[in-house]
A and B are shown apart, each in its own frame.
Chain A
Amino acid sequence: MFTTGTKLLIGSAALAWIGAAVYGVAQEGALGTIGLVSAAVALSLLAGINTFVRDSNVSATDTESFETSAAAQATARNSLWPLLSALGITMMALGMATLPAIFILGIVVTAAGLLEWLVQGWSERASAERAYNDEAREVLADPLELPVAGAIVFAVIVYSFSRVMLGMSTKEATVVVFSVLAAVVLAIGTMIALKRNISTPVITGVFSIGIVAVIAGGAIAGLNGEREVHEHETTADLAEENECGPEETHADDKASQTVAAKSNPAATLIFDGAALEIDQAGDDGNSETLTLPRSNPSNIMFLNESDGEARLVLELHPPVDESGVPISIERICTTLVEEGGRQFMTAEFDRPSFALEDEGVAYEFVVAGTDASVEVVVP
């Protein structure tokens, strides 16, 4: 099963390994060992490839085969790969001068081009039969090419699409563009489904135009830049900076509507402009304090029914260390909630209320800038 060439290469590889080992032990020289190991690796690789392709050759004694063999008659066919490899090398050079990303892309393109070159080169000499050679190439390369190419095309489409979406400056434009797009897709799909004998080139053409259009749209939108997005401040950010006052912040004014998806809050606190009202299951509005369990996150919903923006703040009164600095966060708050808006707050209490009583304070929900407040009892 081992051909002559394989035997030679295996022998050389073995020799190189032995050499490397002997040199490495005897001389302890790094450079020589690296050289020999590299040679051994390269030879092993070659031996492997050669075993696989069986010298790309046939027995020299087989005269009939010799005449019809690949070496005797195969002519090289057109190839895209030299071009691609050259492109890759150019990109590497360009990348060195400009952006590292281009350089890395260049490496990938060069490697892909060379690999394809290798496969094509091998396959063209696999036998004298062209059909068989094509088949051999496909069988070897398709399992890599198709998924990779598919993934690239898919990624490019998705990326272009996302650029288009991010480029839309208004909600209305988004609705219009995507309604039209969806209608077009549906129409084309229906057309293809109805006209069953539609020819492949037509379908290919339609799809190609579609893909090109998406990519072009993506490129244009990408160059135009993304629409402006309000910075979304979180409750934690505000609390961290102790910015729980009544003043305006850059918080996204829609945030309070979009986060209100959680069901079963511990209580809803309703602010009517003057006072906070407690709304809790089983409670007909006769509570003045809110009782929440200790050491457990409780979700509180804040509903702003006043005429202006408002913010709910929870004063936590954490214990202080020797130098009088609070050991944990002092207060948490919601972002500014617009009229009729609502937002959640998650609170956890580490100490029972009676432990705070000594210090003359209490857990308290307040609406920043107003007198509205509700005391929290933690049993």
Chain B
Amino acid sequence: MALIERPRTGDLTPAVATPEATYGAFRRPVESTGWKSWLFTIDHKKIGIMYGVTAMFFFLVGGLEALLIRAQLAGPNGTILSADKYNQMFTMHATTMVFLFVMPMAAAFGNYFVPLQIGARDVAFPRINAFSFWCFLAGAIFINTSWLLGGAADGGWFMYAPNSSVPFSPTNGIDFWGLGLQITGIASLTGAINLIVTVINMRAPGMTFMKMPIFTWMIFVVQFLLVFAIPVITVALFLLMFQRSFDATFFSVEAGADPLLWQHLFWIFGHPEVYILVLPSFGIVSEVLPVFSKKPLFGYPLVVFSGAAIGFVGWGVWAHHMFASGLGPISVAVFSVATMAIAIPTGVKIVNWVMTMWGGKLRYTVAMLFAIGLIVQFTIGGLSGVTHAVAPSDTQQTDTYYIVAHFHYVLFGGAILGIFAGLYYWWPKMFGRMLSEKIGMWNFWLMIIGLNMAFGPMHIIGLQGQPRRMYVWTEARAGEGFFNLGFWNLISSIGAFVLGFGVLLFFYNAWRTHFGKHKAPPAPLDPWDARSLEWLTTSPPKEVNFDRTPVVSHLDEFFHRKYEDRGEGDRHDFVQVATAEELLAIEEANADADIHLPSPSFWPILLAFSLPIMAYGVIYNIIMIAVGAGIALLAMYGWALEPATAPASDYDPPEDGGTDLELATNG
């Protein structure tokens, strides 16, 4: 973008006349309230919230799909779903949870808090940021319309070839899946580049990389993973699209293809994807634990580097998803050992979290409980992971419920508990009111009980030989006695519903905090005695984020502004010298003048929604591709023509002053 749209210098308003809009016939949308302020916003905070709301909606959708699956499997020969619907259900449950819930949820927190944590006013490319969100939404809606148009994808989220070819899956479900993921892939890719540039270029003065908050660090690592992983799945999905829509033979055995090509492509993306899902939550937990332990993160550099190490080694272990595929003993041995190696940096993180708590001053808020819950639950998932890093053992466990148990402990116990810790921790910052801690406790305990009840028995079910992805199980293979599949499947299903109820409590809690007669009072400015920069502003933050650009001298800058070390030599004695209110007052008193934020734009949303039109065209009618491409071209042109900041004349009433202080934002 920068090439085409170089930052403007000087005052370019024409000397003659004052056209109503500089280059176009339309006025820019400049509203800061009302629905237009959301549709056309480029404010990273609003975009973050929209990401969050959409992701939570799809969490409910994915949860509903999960409950249907568990209802089907509660007893033998379940009849709630047909085989066909069941296959669609587990495919879409995974797709929804991975691509439409956890990934965008990380984008939500990343978008909202990375600029705040690094003391920036927005991300580097605010319009691209908006585009990313709308792309994600467009892709998500597109994938889910397949339910109404002949059935959703039924090949599993891993979509192994050749089962994904037209003869084996004649509906359009897989086409929707592939094209929809391409669109959400564009969202992830643009979002990742955006955050990388933001973190590298827009940190507050004095914030070196090793003074950067750990959450920002983890988001930063994840964005690199995205930048390298998304192109791989993009290539794979293109091959799939050509295979299905244009009679290509990338995976056709009769034409000499090797179906394992898909598995390699998918897992080279798919394994880093696991870390894409879980590292943001590691970041959240690494923020929450120190705050509620009143201690800095134990081994901060080590946590940073182990995060980066996971990001690197994560690329060298993809074939451990293929131990049973017949790769040959040498490959299997190499990947088996590499997989064990990745347990080390992961273990380092767990140890550092525990050591952060050790010797601290622990307050058991709901956010803290979720963080501790993550340590315990993720450890279980990590250790069961070690048991199938051992390839021979994995040949017994892979594709059974043992694996289902493993990755649900990792993803629910890791990623999702982290997300909930973040929601409880940052809710007052984002919305200015605190979620009820009392309901939060119920929320937490029900989720923990549900989680262990739903996924714990799956260890047993799996070791007792029940494979995954079966729409029914039968008494004949269930066995008797304590470990019979019937009992534990039932327990697991009950657990799933308990878990579902626990999750619903969160939504109730959120509703109750803002509406109804138990509405919460405005939150205090610094309810948790927090440590990082996002708390150095109002709750919710002002549109400009900070009154003046903060200058950073410490890791945990906010803490060090509040507390002063009165100790001598090796003795430390921290004394509170200022409250958050006092610090904010100082900032407000010395506010920067003439902060001019980039202006809203309707091109990102238009461009994003031209993509599903093209995608429908691929499936139904080639002419629609042209229509979509036309809209896309128009939107791109409009976008390129539009200056980053609207001229004052676009505001109603026109703002006084000109473009005095522009941000270094071009996108």
Contact = CB atoms under 8 A, between A and B. Distances in A.
A62 B17 contact: yes
Interface in B1-30: 3-4, 8, 10, 12-17, 19-20, 23-25
B23 A139 contact: yes
Nearest to A132: B14
B328 interface: yes
A132 B12 contact: yes
A126 B256 contact: no
A142 interface: yes
B641 interface: yes
B253 interface: yes
A143 B640 contact: yes
Contact of A142 (B24, B328, B640): B640
Contacts of B256: 262, 346
A59 B17 contact: yes
A146 B3 contact: yes
Contacts of B328: 263
Interface string A66-97: 00111000000000000000000000000000
Contacts of B8: 135
Contacts of A25: none
A297 interface: yes
A15 to B, nearest CB: 23
Interface residues of B, number: 25
A54 interface: yes
A127 B4 contact: no
B632 to A, nearest CB: 13
Contacts of B16: 58, 65, 68-70, 127-129
Nearest to B15: A129
Contacts of A136: 23
Nearest to B3: A146
B254 interface: yes
A297 B14 contact: no
Interface in A229-273: 262-264
Given A1-B20, A263-B328, A346-B256, A129 B14 contact: yes
Interface string B445-479: 00000000000000000000000000000000000
B302 interface: no
B23 A58 contact: no
A160 interface: no
Nearest to B254: A297
B258 interface: yes
Contacts of B13: 132
Interface in B607-653: 636-637, 640-641
B326 interface: yes
Contact of B25 (A52, A128, A131, A264): A52
A262 B641 contact: no
Given A1-B20, A139-B640, A68 B15 contact: yes
Contact of B15 (A52, A127, A142, A348): A127
Looking at A51, A70, A143, the one whose CB has the most chain B CB atoms below 10 A away is A143
A140 interface: yes
B590 to A, nearest CB: 35
Nearest to B23: A139
A203 B256 CA distance: 48
Contacts of A348: 254
B253 A297 contact: yes
B636 A143 contact: yes
A338 B253 CA distance: 27
Contact of A143 (B4, B24, B25): B4
B340 to A, nearest CB: 25
Interface string B246-260: 000000011010100
Given A131-B10, A135-B12, A143 B17 contact: no
A144 B326 CA distance: 51
A68 B636 CA distance: 34
Contacts of A62: 17
A68 B23 CA distance: 20
B14 A126 contact: yes
Contacts of B326: 264
Nearest to A1: B20
Given A1-B20, A127-B15, A140 B641 contact: yes
B22 to A, nearest CB: 9
The residue among B8, B13, B14 with the most chain A CB atoms within 10 A of its own CB is B14
A128 B19 CA distance: 14
Nearest to B257: A262
Contacts of B15: 68, 127-129, 132
Contacts of A140: 23, 641
Contacts of A143: 4, 636-637, 640-641
Contacts of A52: 24-25
Contacts of A51: 25
Interface in A289-309: 297
Nearest to A69: B16
A69 B16 CA distance: 7
A237 to B, nearest CB: 15
Given A52-B24, A69-B16, 20 more contacts: A1-B25, A54-B19, A58-B16, A58-B17, A62-B17, A70-B16, A126-B14, A128-B15, A129-B14, A131-B12, A132-B12, A132-B13, A135-B12, A142-B4, A142-B640, A143-B4, A143-B640, A143-B641, A146-B4, A262-B258
24 contacts: A52-B24, A52-B25, A54-B19, A58-B16, A65-B17, A68-B15, A70-B16, A127-B15, A127-B16, A129-B16, A131-B10, A131-B12, A132-B13, A135-B12, A136-B23, A139-B23, A139-B640, A139-B641, A140-B641, A142-B4, A143-B4, A262-B256, A262-B258, A264-B326
Q: Which 5 pairs show the lowest CB-CB distances between chains A and B?
A: A127-B14, A143-B640, A65-B16, A58-B17, A132-B14
Interface of B: 3-4, 8, 10, 12-17, 19-20, 23-25, 253-254, 256, 258, 326, 328, 636-637, 640-641
